[in-house]
């Protein structure tokens, strides 16, 4: 967690709302448990009903959060990029700024969006363009993850944890060639590149927002 005195004036806000909450059990507690170990500037908290919100300042922290939400599959997501009011409070529910407004707009618009994700930023052409390409990358990534089976996730998780194909094969009780086949079907390499791309594009979007704040 960054020191308050060094907080930048811009950030990325994620507002995450449960889909079909009127007919399905409340899943907020499970999601908070999943997101809690991941780096944030202001930790995710339940804001209202079946909705949670969190703030990150580092672009490289966004992919892990987005992937966790997409993997769960029960949520729609608004990602807001823009200014945040300083000094930051200790609780995200007390935080304010355009980035929070953008995230609200995003989650409301995500109902019919691919991957149930929308990215909203400030009004300048540069900010709009950077948000649009970030959103497109997340949509493509979401489509990849949506096709990944439980067996694919087993392999992906082991490889992400640093295991070799040989080690993963021993853990799963299958051959190395089977691990390779599952990894290919799961799009493991493509998923790794997607994380890198999302982090890079989020960094660009933050830079554009920072220029608008100056």
Structural domains for the chain:
4-138+198-213 (3.30.70.270)
Which pLDDT tens digit goes with each residue over 4-37?
A: 447 889 999 999 999 987 778 999 999 999 999 9
H, E, C per residue of 35-74: HCCCCCCEEEEEEECCEEEEEECCHHHHHHHHHHHHHHCC
Range list of β-strands (E), the chain: 10-18, 42-48, 51-56, 75-83, 117-120
Q: How confident is the model at residue 78 (pLDDT cuts 50, 70, 90)?
A: very high
pLDDT at 181: 98
The rounded distance, in Å, linking the Cα atoms of 184 and 186 is 5
Answer whether residue 118 shows pLDDT above 90.
yes
**Residue 118, Cβ density class (10 Å: 0-12 exposed, 13-18 middle, ≥19 buried):** buried
pLDDT at 29: 96
Which pLDDT tens digit goes with each residue over 138-162?
A: 999 999 999 999 999 999 999 999 9
pLDDT at 161: 96
The secondary structure of the chain in percent helix, strand, coil, rounded to multiples of 5, reads 60, 15, 25
pLDDT at 4: 46
Q: Are strands 117-120 and 10-18 parallel, antiparallel or unpaired?
A: unpaired
CB 30 within 8 A of CB 68: no
pLDDT at 214: 74
pLDDT at 63: 99
pLDDT at 7: 81
Which pLDDT tens digit goes with each residue over 162-203?
A: 999 999 999 999 999 999 999 999 999 999 999 999 999 999
Structure tokens at 111: 């109902």
Confidence (pTM): 0.94
Residue with tokens 């005195």: 5
Which pLDDT tens digit goes with each residue over 31-74?
A: 999 999 999 999 999 998 899 999 999 999 999 999 999 999 99
Q: How confident is the model at residue 212 (pLDDT cuts 50, 70, 90)?
A: confident
**Residue 17, Cβ density class (10 Å: 0-12 exposed, 13-18 middle, ≥19 buried):** buried
């Amino acid at each position: 967690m960054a020191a308050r005195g060094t907080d930048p004036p811009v950030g990325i806000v994620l507002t995450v709302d449960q889909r079909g909450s009127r007919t399905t059990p409340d899943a907020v507690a499970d999601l908070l448990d999943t997101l809690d170990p991941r780096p944030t500037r202001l930790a995710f908290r339940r804001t209202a009903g079946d909705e949670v919100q969190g703030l990150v300042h580092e672009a490289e922290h966004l992919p892990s959060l987005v992937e966790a939400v997409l993997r769960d599959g029960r949520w729609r997501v608004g990602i807001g990029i823009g200014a945040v009011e300083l000094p930051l409070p200790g609780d995200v529910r007390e935080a304010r700024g355009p980035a929070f407004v953008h995230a609200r707009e995003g989650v409301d618009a995500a109902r019919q969006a691919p991957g149930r994700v929308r990215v909203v930023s400030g009004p300048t052409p540069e900010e709009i363009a950077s948000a649009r390409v970030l959103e497109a990358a997340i949509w493509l990534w979401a489509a990849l993850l949506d096709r990944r089976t439980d067996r694919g996730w087993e392999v992906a998780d082991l490889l992400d944890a640093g295991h070799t194909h040989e080690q993963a094969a021993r853990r799963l009780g299958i051959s190395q060639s089977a691990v390779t086949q599952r990894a290919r079907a799961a799009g493991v390499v493509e998923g790794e590149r997607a994380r890198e791309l999302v982090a890079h594009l989020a960094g660009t979007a933050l830079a554009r927002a920072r220029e608008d704040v100056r």
